[in-house]
């Protein structure tokens, strides 16, 4: 049986975020600190700096993400989406493994990923 899921991502597992950023070559800073965005400063639990982005991406304590990319002029949304997609995939795989399931990953031609959970 197949299910389609739409996921709203909150970056709550900071060690996985650091792992994903390391894998993608994205500098990541874990730990609470003030992060400067164009619109002001925010208190972040973590932040990461995407290539060609003017400002870092701030991860707040509740896992929400704040960023200023001026509708793509200061950084492409695709770069952020890649981090979020990879993070979501890793969290799903880890959770499935904790539940004793095997995971088969299939990448489609359009770049999307299908995770098949096998009991």
What is the largest distance, in Å, between two alpha-carbon atoms of the chain?
A: 48
Averaged over successive runs of 10 residues, the pLDDT of the chain (119 residues) comes to: 65 98 98 94 97 96 95 93 95 95 94 88
DSSP string, 47-99: EE--TT-SSPEEE-TTS-EE---GGGTTS-HHHHHHHHHHHHHHHHHHHHHHT
Calpha distance 25→16 (Å, rounded) = 14
pLDDT at 116: 93
Determine, yes or no, domain membership for 9: no
Determine, yes or no, domain membership for 104: yes
Model confidence, pTM:
0.88
pLDDT at 111: 81
Q: Residue 119, Cβ neighbours under 10 Å: how many?
A: 7
DSSP string, 15-47: HHHHHHHHHHT--EEEEEEEEEETTEEEEEEEE
Q: How many domains does the chain have?
A: 1
Determine, yes or no, domain membership for 76: yes
Determine, yes or no, domain membership for 55: yes
Domain region containing 43 = 14-118
pLDDT at 119: 83
Determine, yes or no, domain membership for 84: yes
Determine, yes or no, domain membership for 8: no
Calpha distance 106→50 (Å, rounded) = 26
SS3 10: coil
Determine, yes or no, domain membership for 34: yes
């Amino acid at each position: 049986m197949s299910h389609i899921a739409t996921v709203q991502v909150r970056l709550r597992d900071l060690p996985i975020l650091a792992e994903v950023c390391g894998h993608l070559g994205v500098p990541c800073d874990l730990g609470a600190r003030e992060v400067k965005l164009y619109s002001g400063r925010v208190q972040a639990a973590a932040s990461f700096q995407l290539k060609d982005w003017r400002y870092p991406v701030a991860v707040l304590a509740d896992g929400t993400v704040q960023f200023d990319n001026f509708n793509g002029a200061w950084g492409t949304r695709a770069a952020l989406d890649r981090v979020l997609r990879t993070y979501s995939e890793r969290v799903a795989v880890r959770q499935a493994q904790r539940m004793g399931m095997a995971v088969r990953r299939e990448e489609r031609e359009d770049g999307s990923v299908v995770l098949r959970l096998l009991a």
